[in-house]
Amino acid sequence: MGLAPGDDEPVKSEAIHLSEDAFFLVEFGVVQHVPTYRNFGHWGVTRVPSSVWIDVLDAITDLRKKIEKARGPSDLSFEGMSVVRLMSEFRSNFELTKSGAVEALRGVSQVTGGWLDSYDGVFIIGI
């Protein structure tokens, strides 16, 4: 999966690529705020206007804070999402997975939030 800035087309030279597991954490906010994403899922390109991506960033921040506050896997739930593999990772090595998830969410927020200064939107690129 990838995320790229852009106006009418994605600027692939600035894209960031995420593993499926890492993208799942971002996807949690995308599904909440981008109805058109449901039509394409992982197999297409979805443009998200800056005004909507700000809502996605808020959802990512909320999720990051939830993970930061968690004391163990039982403190985490991802309503409506299939998270078997992710929860398996949290159960097998909670602190390492927690740290990686928090840093991944923080990084995606910083990079994609910075794009909004120069571009009209963010593209989700399914691969």
Give the Cβ contact number of residue 36 at 10 Å.
12
pTM: 0.86
pLDDT in tens, 29-80: 898 899 888 655 567 889 999 999 999 999 999 989 999 998 888 888 766 5
Give the angle subtended at the CA of 55 by the CAs of 109 and 62, to the nearest 5°. Answer: 60
Q: How far apart are CA 62 and CA 20, in angstroms?
A: 20
Q: How far is CA 109 from CA 23, 39, 102, 125, in A?
A: 12, 24, 11, 17
